[in-house]
Amino acid sequence: MKMYRVLSRVVCWAAFGVMVPMLGCADLSEPWQLNYARVLAVQATPPGVAPLQTTTLTALVFDGAAVREVTMTDVVVPAPFAALLLPASAPAVWQAADATVVARELAAQQVPAGEALVVPVTTSVTLAGVDGPLMGVKHVRVGVAAANPVAPAVLVDGVEQREVTLHAHQVVQLSAAGAPGLTYVWASTHGELKRAAAANSQLTATELGDGVLVVVVRDGVGGVAWTHVPLHVVP
């Protein structure tokens, strides 16, 4: 009844947040573990389109065995944006409307001058051997041209590598050289990653075998790029 209920509830909420990790949680897959098929990132090239400019939607997917770059074959633009982003020559290629339509739509959405209208595009692809379609939502920015960041180089203990070979139980420091302001996400089929959502990560080789090591970078405004290198863990 009183205002101090504000406090009791916030305290409870905070205390509960502390308690849950203390109780312990089930052994669930971590985002960095490549252990089943999924989309790792969807890239629009370019991520921002000026009037009449086209963009192509591709994705980095893990199909359960390997990482592949695929063209998204099913793309759906929500009805409110149907006049703004139009299908072009191929299912994965879309084109911004002409300048008059773009200006009208941006004005209708009260988008400030010089900024883009963000269109959420649902993409999916069906791969042989994978149950169901792999889906991902990509936000295409219409009205202002933009570019994806440059794919980063993968450095292992400070040395750039195009193929990584580790011995079992070996611990290495991973880093990705990219432009400032990017965020990084690492993923691997083998081993254990620490600080997988940072530019500098750590990989401990565990089980033997051949796999892949991936790093995806995002610029926070729709730009995305990735690098994946073969990973071998040997005795």
Q: What residues line the site for other proteins (CB under 8 A)? A: 1-31, 36, 38-39, 41-43, 59, 122, 135-139, 183, 185, 194-198, 216, 218, 220, 222, 224
* Least Cβ distance, residue 186 to other proteins (angstroms): 11
β-partners of residue 76 are: 122
Q: Which amino acid, 172?
A: V
Q: Which of 139/232 has CB closer to other proteins?
A: 139
* Least Cβ distance, residue 43 to other proteins (angstroms): 8
Q: Which of 108/137 has CB closer to other proteins?
A: 137
CA within 13 Å, CB half, 39: 22
* Least Cβ distance, residue 72 to other proteins (angstroms): 11
Q: Which of 28/113 has CB closer to other proteins?
A: 28
* Least Cβ distance, residue 163 to other proteins (angstroms): 26
* Least Cβ distance, residue 220 to other proteins (angstroms): 8
Q: Considering only CA atoms, which of 117, 95, 121 is closest in space to residue 43?
A: 121
CA within 13 Å, CB half, 172: 22
Q: Which of 52/137 has CB closer to other proteins?
A: 137
Q: Which of 17/158 has CB closer to other proteins?
A: 17
* Least Cβ distance, residue 218 to other proteins (angstroms): 7
Q: Which of 86/135 has CB closer to other proteins?
A: 135
